[in-house]
C-alpha cells in the first residue's frame, strides 16, 4: 500500500505504519493499535468501518499487483510445471539466453503476451504463475518522497499515475541489474532519480 498525491497529514508514524502492515500478514507481529475484540462495540465498529472504507478510497492504492508490468514469474511455480529457462526461451521465442534466464529467476518483468503464453502452457492462473515484483527500487517507490516525481511524469507523458509509476520502476530496475553493490537504499534512490531525469527529457 502506498500514498498517492494527496496530503492528509500524519495519521501515524512511519514505523507504526510498517508494523501495522507486517501484522496483517504475520501473526507473530503485534499491531501498534487496538484490534479485534478490544475495539468491538456497537458504538465504535460502524464508525471505524466507515472511516477505513472512506480513507482507502481516496488515498490508498495497492501496488505492485499480479498484473503485466508489475509482476514476475514465480520460479517455484515454473519448476513445478517442469519449465526451464531453455523451455521459456523456446516457447517465448527469446533470442538471448540471458533474457530467458532473467524471466525464469524473476529478475525481469514479462509482457502481457509472454504471460498469456506461459499461462496456456502451464495451465496456471495469474495468481499461481506470478508474484508482485520485489526489489529495493520497488520499496523505495512506495515512499511519499517520490510522489511528486510520479505526478510530474504522469503529466509529462499523459499517463495515469499507476502507469507512470510502472514506467519509472521498469527503467530504474534496468539500471539496477547493471549497477555495483553498495548501500542498497541509496543506490535505489539514485537509480530512480536518474531514470526520472532521463524519462522527463525524452
pLDDT band per the 50, 70, 90 thresholds, residue 15: confident
pLDDT at 63: 86
Domain boundaries, the chain: 2-61, 71-132, 136-201
Q: Does 202 score more than 70 pLDDT? A: yes
Mean pLDDT computed over 96-125: 95
User: Residue 47's pLDDT is what?
Assistant: 63
Per-residue pLDDT band at 144 (split at 50, 70, 90): confident
pTM of the model: 0.68
Burial class (CB in 10 A: 0-12, 13-18, 19+), 25: exposed
Site of grid cell 498469456: 116
Tell the residue number behind the cell numbers 492462473, with chain if given.
125
Residue 166's CB is within 10 A of a number of other CB atoms, namely 22
Which CATH architecture group holds 71-132?
A: Orthogonal Bundle (1.10)
Q: Is 129 exposed, middle or buried (0-12, 13-18, 19+ CB in 10 A)?
A: buried
Direct distance between the N- and C-terminal alpha carbons of the chain, in angstroms, rounded to an integer: 29
Whole-number pLDDT of residue 12: 64
pLDDT at 191: 93
Give the phi and the psi of residue 130 in degrees, each rounded to 5.
Answer: -120, 160
Under the banding of pLDDT at 50, 70 and 90, the label for residue 88 is very high
pLDDT at site 38? 47
Average pLDDT taken over every residue of the chain: 82
CA distance linking residue 43 with residue 54, whole number of Å: 18
CB 75 within 8 A of CB 105: yes
Contact (CB, 8 A) for 66 and 130: yes
Copy the grid coordinates of residue 176. Answer: 539496477
Name the residue with higher pLDDT: 141 or 26: 141
Please report the DSSP string for 64-108 in residue order.
S-SSTTTEEE-HHHHHHTT--HHHHHHHHT-S-HHHHHHHHHT-S
Mean pLDDT of 161-173: 94
Lowest mean pLDDT among 4-18, 63-77, 160-174: 4-18
User: What is the band of 22 on the pLDDT scale with cuts at 50, 70, 90?
Assistant: confident
What pLDDT band is residue 37 in, cutting at 50, 70 and 90? very low
Amino acid at each position: 500500500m502506498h500514498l498517492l498525491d494527496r496530503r492528509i497529514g500524519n495519521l501515524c508514524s512511519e514505523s507504526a505504519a510498517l508494523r501495522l502492515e507486517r501484522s496483517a500478514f504475520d501473526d507473530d507481529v503485534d499491531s501498534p493499535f487496538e484490534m479485534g475484540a478490544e475495539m468491538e462495540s456497537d458504538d465504535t465498529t460502524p464508525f471505524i468501518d466507515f472511516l477505513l472504507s472512506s480513507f482507502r478510497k481516496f488515498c490508498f492504492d495497492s501496488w505492485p499487483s499480479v498484473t503485466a508490468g508489475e509482476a514476475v514469474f514465480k520460479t517455484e511455480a515454473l519448476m513445478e510445471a517442469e519449465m526451464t529457462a531453455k523451455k521459456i526461451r523456446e516457447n517465448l521465442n527469446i533470442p538471448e539466453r540471458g533474457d530467458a534466464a532473467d524471466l525464469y529467476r524473476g529478475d525481469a518483468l514479462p509482457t502481457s503476451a509472454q504471460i498469456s503464453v506461459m499461462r496456456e502452457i502451464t495451465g496456471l492462473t495469474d495468481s499461481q504463475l506470478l508474484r508482485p515484483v520485489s526489489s529495493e527500487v520497488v520499496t523505495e517507490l512506495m515512499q511519499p518522497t517520490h510522489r511528486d516525481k510520479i505526478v510530474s511524469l504522469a503529466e509529462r507523458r499523459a499517463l495515469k499515475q499507476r502507469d507512470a509509476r510502472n514506467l519509472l520502476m521498469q527503467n530504474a530496475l534496468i539500471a539496477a541489474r547493471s549497477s555495483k553493490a553498495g548501500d542498497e537504499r541509496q543506490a535505489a534512490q539514485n537509480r530512480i532519480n536518474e531514470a526520472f531525469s532521463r524519462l522527463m527529457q525524452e
